[in-house]
Chain A
Amino acid sequence: MELHSLKYEQDERLMRCFGNLDKAKSEVEFAHKKVRYFKDSLNLNNEFSNSAGLNSVPISDKSVYRKNFPAGILSEGSSLKDPYVSRLQSSGTSGERLVSVIHSFKLAERMANCLSINPAFQYLSKVPRIKTCRYAAPNCSDVECANPRSTMQDRILADGTLVLPVYHDLLTTPDSMLRMAFDELHSYEPDLWYVDPMHLSILIKKAKSEGWAFDLDRKFSVLLTYTFATRALLRQISELCAGHAPVASVMAMSEFGFVGLGCEHGNLHLNDKDYFLEFIQMEGTHPDDNLWELVITSIGDRLCPHIRYQTNDIYHLHGACDCGNSMPRVSFLGRSKDLLRLPSGKYITPGSLDEVVGAPKWIDIYQLTEQEVGAYIFRFTGNKDCFSDAEKSQLRQKLQALLETENVRVDDVNYFPFERGGKFQLIRKS
């Protein structure tokens, strides 16, 4: 629920807040009392108790949690050896890699509250023990999924999640490894496919061309995460799953677990029950740009509370959703550093780009690269049989309008470079 009284300004930037402020304040007080880093750094003065929000509390970030791990950020009396302490590792290069610790029961609670956003996923709460298959870039998990000789047993995590084998460079994954992933996805009989949409689309495409048939009679659900689910990817996934398995995008962060889920209308809602959500107008933007940076305060985390944690993620905020869910409806646009800014000051977000590209049959995967300011290459792969020059030049015109320049190349390619760690960037700066 949005706190209307809390639309205030932080450093002259607008701010909108969702969630239970009292609980957020107790979280801050708890951290101040029980967590060494916050004990030393927070000063809870009258301003804190009197203010309508958390404005007087400084914003924290990844570096706080990395530098003070573990003793400085764990609450007094708790330890990494306690029961239910799960460790989640962020992807990213080793220098900025972050280990987060969360009570697994908090993860369960957050997951349950997120699943409640979409009725099609409700049945999962009745599954005795949800079996998950994860299919995503290798860095996303702490098992050796990139080792082609690893066995299924090697890749089953403590919570029963099977991590499917993947190759560092998705598009050059050897056939044998794709087959292995396909087979395991069936033999493990997961209730949940927790996948990178790009990875799934590659597997779907391979299965189609080789004539491998997915078993769609078993009840399962698909949650898409890790990379931006473009309309083109969604088209391929829904061709497979429509009528068989519910598909939704999930917003998850290694620091928190589940943060939000796409509702039955395909709109992302963020969980404001387990988190206090502050959206701060992105620096240097106009309110009309509707670009908001998310800052999260955990609720009821007595192991490692996150206080006004800067996610660096940028969102659009939308009004109420037809689905009726009162959790805030947003679109995820990407990391703030990945946003492209045109000379005019306009921001190009994955969302705005994807709206222009749409989901024509001849595009399966695409990527926009900024070669230099004002010069762009749009690369795509897809079904060459559906391809038409007219459509291609139409797309080029739309991209020119979006990017405010004539200098846009549209290339049909067979390969895309992936970042280190196997991540795919929809918009790259070269």
Chain B
Amino acid sequence: MAEHKTKYDRQLRIWGEQGQAALEKASICLLNCGPTGSETLKNLVLGGIGSITIVDGSKVEEGDLGNNFMVDESCIGQSKAKCVCSFLQELNDAVKAKFIEENPEELIKTNPSFFSQFTLVVATQLVEESMVKLDIICREANVMLIFARSYGLTGFVRISVKEHTVIESKPDHFLDDLRLNNPWPELTRFTETIDINVPDPVVHKHTPYVIILIKMADEWAKSHGGCLPATRDEKREFKEMIKSRMIAIDEDNYKEAIDASFKVFAPRGISSSLLHVINDPSAEVTSNSSDFWIMVAALKEFINNEGGGEAPLEGSIPDMTSSTELYVNLQKIYQAKAESDMLIVEQRVRDILKKIGRDTNSISKTKIKSFCKNARKLAVCRYRLLEDEFNSPVQPELQKYLTDDDYSIAVGFYVLLRAVDRFVTNFNSFPGQFEGVMDEDISRLKATAVGLLNDLGCNSSTLTEDLINEMCRYGAAELHAVSAFVGGIASQEIIKLITRQFIPMSGTFIFNGIDHKSQLLML
């Protein structure tokens, strides 16, 4: 146990015991264990994923020794799935590693129910037809799915999950929840007990900026008909007013107050993204609703009633120059308000559960508490079915990408990655896969790509000859460095999906290994 904690220390600091427990419970299925798939799994195995099942029907060839670290000389002629599996097992004996020697494309065709046993399927190096089929299978079985592919100096990663909701999104920079422009009665009362004009210089420079700003905002409002600073001039004047109260130049608390004065000007109420979440049709809950949406429904009621337009208070304050006593007291006031908001939301959750006929205790208090603490940062991610995207991509976006210089290579690769799959259906090999037919392949790939663009209702002139040549040059090569990059991205997204922390990527990530100007395409 202590060893477990030490071994995973550097990642526990990111996703905590809960995130780690989620990883250790997860079972992952990998389709195709070339370098892209192997590298994806390697990163997860090191982190202590619960179990892996590798599906690959091929045997190790000489060429595999040049791009896959999980196989070596002694593996030649043996099952690739078996060899990769045994190497991965060596990396972490806490992981349950299995393999199935079977062609994934066959498995998709013949045994669709196979996939329902997994938490998540990571499908690498599949062609379009198989991806579309697998996507539908996983969507119906409610299994998370992620596609990854490396192809020469390009590749892509695409998540496919019907809906992924996140409570602990842990954004990097997020405005503190201080309510400086909208203090609740206890905070106002506490502020009133403090005299910021106290003559003692030591006390004066240890008054926390929260108190200074609430007082100043109140003072300003009284002389401005109840309004807070709004125009640029008023904001400047407000800062000057704070500055004028300094009694020494080394008062860090006043400097902090000036720097934080924008928190007074920030609009009251909830953000547009949270508004979006509470107005989502899923917030109209039924007995089939997930815990997340039931809590959102309770949150919505809270905001519209007790919250007075605000979400439950987060309850923590940043560090600031202050005496210990004032800081600790202030902290307690914020905590108490957060606790009381949480209790109201909790009651509303229980009432909703009762109304929809579910066990009123089926959502734990800990979960509700975490939900309230993160209420302002909730995230909902939804992904289109691959089939829908392929048949009818979002036209305005597609048109934008096709005409925007920043996107020209990425969207070109997107089209060409699809075109090579049509190519292989028609000609039984990838363009440039074999020597001696390069010129022919280039013109064939061009015709295929033009046909594809026409099917999508797009002008084909945006695709450059250089990029078509480049795609043929790649000849479906799976380069190790590109695979490690693409696999790295895939494993990162898998971690976010499984821990339900942080926000997974949206759209399709197109890797551009030429100049690294990779892009996300929202199609």
Are A and B physically bound partners? no
Q: Which residues of A contact B (CB under 8 A)?
A: none
